[in-house]
Amino acid sequence: MISDFKNAALSSLKGKWGLGAGASFLYYIISTIGTFIIGFPLFFLGLLFSEIMNVIASPTGDERLNAVGATSYVLTFVIISVVLIGLQSIMSYGYCNLTLRLAKRESTTIDDLFEGFRKKNIFKSIKLALLMSVYVFLWSLLLIVPGIIKCFSYSMAYYIMLDHPEYTASEALKKSQEMMKGHKFDLFILSLSFIGWFILGAVILFFTIGIPFLWIYPYYFTTISHFYLNLVNRDTAMEEKTVI
C-alpha cells in the first residue's frame, strides 16, 4: 500500500517536478522572509519595552515595573508565535492545495500556492493552525506521545477544508479525527518510509543550501495527498454501502 501511494505521487508529478520544486522554493523563501520581516521587529519592540521597564524599576525598586517587564517578554513571545503560526498556516494551506490538485490531476499552476492569501481563506487557515497548535500543545502536556498522536489525527484538516470550504476550522479538525480513526499508524508508517530521503536531504543540506528538499517536499506532500484521497474514497464507499 505504501508503494502504491508513492507510485501514484510520482505519476502525478511526472512533467510537474519543476512546478513542485518552484512551489517549494517560494514556500521556503516567503516563510523565511516573512519570519524576519514580522518576527524581528516584534521581538525588538518587546525587548526594548522590557528593558525600559527594567531600567525605570532599578532605581525606584518598584517590583510592579519589573513584573511589567517580565510580562512583556512573555507577551512578545506569544504574539510572535501567533503571527508566525498564522503566516505558516497561510503558506501550508496553499502548498496543500497545490499538491492536492496535482494528486487529483487537476490543472495546477504556481498561483495555487497562494490560495491561502485569498480573503475567504486567510482567516480560516489561520484559525485552523491556531486551534491545531493549542490542542496539540495541551495534549502534549500529558506527555509527548499524546501530542504526536493528535498531530496525526489532525493531519487531514487542511485537505478537508480545501475540499469543503464551507467547513469551519473546528469542523475540519473534527472531520479529520473521524477520518483518521484506525489510520493514524498507517500514516505514521507512510511518513517513516521517507526517513531515508529526509536524512539524505539533511546531510546534503550543508553543501547545497537545502536544494534536495525542493524535490523531496512535493514528493512527500503529494504522497500524503494521495493518502487523503484514498481515505475519502473509503468513506464514500462505506456511505454508499450503508445507503444500499
Rounded distance between C-alpha atoms, residue 39 and residue 138, angstroms: 24
183 in Cβ contact with 231 (< 8 Å): yes
* Residue-level pLDDT at 108: 92
* Residue-level pLDDT at 236: 67
* Residue-level pLDDT at 181: 93
Rounded distance between C-alpha atoms, residue 212 and residue 203, angstroms: 10
Percent over 90 (pLDDT), the chain: 53
Angle at 198 between CA 195 and CA 204, to 5 degrees: 140
Cell triple for 117: 492569501
Cell triple for 87: 503566516
**What mean pLDDT comes out for the span 175-183?**
94
pTM over 0.75: yes
Rounded distance between C-alpha atoms, residue 173 and residue 167, angstroms: 10
